[in-house]
A and B are shown apart, each in its own frame.
Chain A
Amino acid sequence: MKPRDLTDLALRNLRESILRNALTTLGVAVGVASLVAMISIGVGLQELASKRLSQSGLFDTIVVTAKNNFRGPGGPPRSEANKDAGKPPRVLDEDARHDIEKLPNVIEVYPQVRFFTEVRFNNKPFATVVAGMPDSSKNSGSFDGMVGNFFSSSTANEAILQIEFAKDLSPNNTSSLVGQELVLRYAERQALPAPTENAAPASPGGSPGGGFSVVPRELRLKIVGVVETEPAQGFGGYGNARLLMPLLTASTLRAAQVTDLRDIVRDSNANKTTYASLSVRAKSPSQIDALETSIKAMGFGAFSLLDASKSLRTFFTVFDLLLLIFGSLALAVATLGIVNTLVMAILERRREIGVLKALGAADSDVQQLFFVEAGVMGFFGGIFGVLFGWLIGRALTFGTNVYLKRQSLSSIEVTSVPWWLILFAILFAILVSLVAGLYPASRAAKLNPVDALRYE
């Protein structure tokens, strides 16, 4: 029989016992819905975690430091350090920054500018850590839901306050701070003239630096936003920095940093900017490994949290698998429903099968007819199941968000039904239904037409 005739006949047969077949299809739909709901929770939570982690910059960022004479994060093992003991460590300066920028798959390289200082607001002093934020952080999602706006330009004299700090400044109404000004007091590093040749002997690591003096400065900053999260709180990032300003503005302040004292004895030119560390953002976490190796080969220390990311992916794969297994249990029960319905249909349609065979239907025609009927039930069960599963997901998200709102927390998407899940669920439902139809279809095909025609 041609496929269209086969489908016509199958649909007609399904319509004839509409209630029973609809209930069987509903059984499949409930099974698929449970599967879709379970997996959508897994996918939703994974997406939520990935989004948060990617916003944190934990897994696509490498922190580059100058190689130290002591072991530290990113420092080489002791044996390796000993090998290079004779050579001066490469300085992490603007040249190094440009070299790293040229590496493949690097999106951006920016220095970490952070310093502890004093802020004056309404003539009262407040101590805090100030951090420079690159332009790219605007799109990372870290500033989603903030009060006010991101910096108007990369060189603006503007500040965004972390809410805890904002509460220190204005305990009652933090949002009123937006538009007001504060004064940043900081220590500017100014290079001293280089010493004369007689002044000091050359050191093995190079000429000693000319040193620098520290000059107190003030800068007025306009508060443009208050943020609840801790933006870019990645390791080595801006955790605990409670006053954020544009990175370029922060860099031009030449504020004295903790590492400056070390640089005095290491760098010959105090006028030249060196960085305590550079953050390197890769295009994707998968390129971190290769990039880290390249940076280490350039003579710097490098450190990333890629391994933690791998563990996270493994966790979610196992989590999804478990959800899939539990979700499939309902579908397994629905499968029994299909077997039952089709076996009953064989009993009811025994004489009809005999007539079909007497009129010239081959065993394969009868088998395919039952297969198509099972497949059609699976197809519609799959479609309705996806719909129900999606609705369950929406209900879960709604319920969760109602709860979060009561706790004064921002809303989240707990579930996610991506297109591949829809396709997978429908195909899986059809496949399972066909497997369920195997036995009834084969039994129908093997019916002896003479016995079937005699059946009353």
Chain B
Amino acid sequence: MAQVAVRLEDVHVDYPVQAGATRKILYGIDLEIESGEFVSIVGQTGCGKSTLLRLILAEEKPTSGRVLVGGRERSQPDRYCGYVPQRYSLFPDKTVLNNVTFGPEVTGLNGFSRLTPEGRKRLREYREDAMRYLRHTGLMDADARKYPHQLSGGMQQRVAIAQALIMKPPVLLMDEAFSALDPGTRAGMQRLIHELWRESGTTIVFVTHNTREAVCLGTRIIALAKEESGEQGSSVALDLSVPHANFDSDEEEIRRLIGEVEAATLPRSASGDACSQSVAVHAGSSD
């Protein structure tokens, strides 16, 4: 039986808006993510996808309920979860190579130990390791000396992925990581992350508003949807296992899945039905 990497138990998240009043963001989320899964989380804007990710990161605390990552509740983000955000993913003051070696250095070398022969040897190893990861994510050796602002958006995200993966995190969280990229670069990055996931077996939680991306990348899709009145917050509207869907799947099958997922993300009436918008209009229309 596969190990559970992430578990959310009856999680509710409310944000205070005015004196005494709160806005419900997430409502009664129960979720189990097993090790090695590639979970895509989709939903309309403002439905709480990123909040869910921040809960798993332990950057935010639930109003009620429990979030267990690696079997325990965490008080702040740590190296158990790697993180690739949409923006500001790299440290602008460090070169590409130093961005990638930052994690190993900060955890493996302390104080002046980098000045010792042993420290210098380890630093060399970290750099070689980082270069391997950079090459693996499609970057050239010359890029290692560049600063982040000298790279394109796609290259920056490649570095961010290398930076996260070099720490070998059991869980990798990606928050709209490819949203700012042009379609061509985005397609390349999707294939890259899928390949890296297959090789490493890391659990990936991938938040996106792009349904096609979610369907083609994930082995499981979780759709969040709000109640129509917006008073109750979002809950899991669909939890769909799609182990065989990928970019090479039959287009008809992908369209069918997109339609199903998009229907689930529509705001629901109090009775739980999706609101009466045409699913056919949305099916396959994602960018």
Q: Do A and B bind each other?
A: no
Q: Contact residues of B with A, CB < 8 Å?
A: none
